[in-house]
Amino acid sequence: MKWVMRLYHALADWEGAAIERLLGMAVLHADEISIRVNTRNHWIHSCSGGDIVVKRCHRKRGPEALDAINIIPRYGVTGPADDDDRTRTVLVHDRWATYFKYDNCDHSLCGAHLFENPQTHRRRAPTQLGDPDAPAVAGHLPGSG
């Protein structure tokens, strides 16, 4: 275990710099996946942009985890709210409802997730996306016809 702590401390500066770079990007990708830790379910939460990926393990999946990890809550619009030249930022993710609770940035759905289960997306797209054209778009997904 001693070498794990040495590695953890050695990477702390890199991780801090990587997170700051991610926070400055116009587009940030977020995802999560479950993992077993000592026979209990935990979650790996990832944030990525360009060639940077930061992953954190947390025992929770919801806002408690994202707030504790503290990347997505700090990601958002830069510049004064009344400045027309401010930079808008976009968080790209699956349709997990927790991501939409963070209104400090715009949201975009990850295209890869649209192809996971087209039948589910056809049924849920109009209500989940709130887009009147969603049924027409969903009709063009593979497996929808």
**Domain of 27, in residue numbers:** 2-138
Q: Is residue 58 part of a domain?
A: yes
Position 6 in a domain: yes
* 108: in domain: yes
* 143 located within any domain: no
Give the model confidence (pLDDT) of 65-98 as tens digits. Answer: 999 999 999 998 665 555 666 678 999 998 888 9
Q: Quick count: other Cβ atoms within 10 Å of Cβ 28? A: 22
CATH of the domain at 38: 3.30.420
Residue 145 lies in a domain: no
Specify the pTM.
0.73
Q: What is the pLDDT of residues 30-48, one digit of tens each?
A: 999 999 999 999 999 999 9
Contacts of 126 (CB under 8 A, 6+ apart): 132, 134, 135, 138
Q: How many domains does the chain have?
A: 1
Cβ-contact 57, 43 below 8 angstroms? yes
Q: How far is CA 47 from CA 78, 98, 136, in A?
A: 18, 15, 31
Per DSSP, the three-state class of 103 is coil
